Amino acid sequence: MTISSRNIVYDGAKVNIGCSKIFCFAKENFGGYSNETSEGFYYACDVDSAGHLTKLSWAYAIGRRNFEIYGDDVSFDATFDINKYNMIFAPFTGVDKHDRCVTFAACLLSQESVTDYTWAFHHFVKAMRRNLVVIVTNQCAAMKVAIPDVFSDGNGLIASKHRLCMWHITGKFPVKLGNRLFKETDFMEK
């Protein structure tokens, strides 16, 4: 948000008008969201036949700038539970030079499907203007199909590598290996 629109929201809060209503007012006052959003902000959305939001992707200018600097290795985590809108929150994150997590972009998806992931990844590339070098995900079958489709060299960019998150893999050890091997040996230590 620009400084002037931020001031409008603060002034509205002083008289108990919520952020959403003030932002709608500002949108009407400035002639649309595209004229009100800050420079460098990217967003895309998709609705179903009934007009309900099914996909939303966004990236702030600072996230896009951080991606330019730290965006070689990106984690895409779609394991955040469905919220009250029945959508999955999935951020694209990385690590900066101070070993702190930074968010490059995020999306809300109505389904964990190849179509939804392909849409999200396509808009990530469009917002960032390049493929990432490595994408780290959980073991989702839909992502496994969508990633090589979008992050390939077919879009004129360098193809990305897909890697699986060790945290998700090791979390499944007790179930997959059984308690005896898991608890009675030094398997986890090794």
SS (H, E, C) the chain: CCHHHHHHHHHHHHCCCCHHHHHHHHHHHHCCHHHHCCCCCEEEEEECCCCCEEEEEEECHHHHHHHHHHCCEEEECCCCCCCCCCCEEEEEEEECCCCCEEEEEEEEECCCCHHHHHHHHHHHHHHHCCCCCEEEECCCHHHHHHHHHHCCHHHCCCCCEEEECHHHHHHCHHHHHCHHHHHHCCCCCC
pTM comes to 0.69
What number is the average pLDDT over the span 56-71?
92
pLDDT digits (tens, 9 = 90+) for 105-117: 999 999 999 999 9
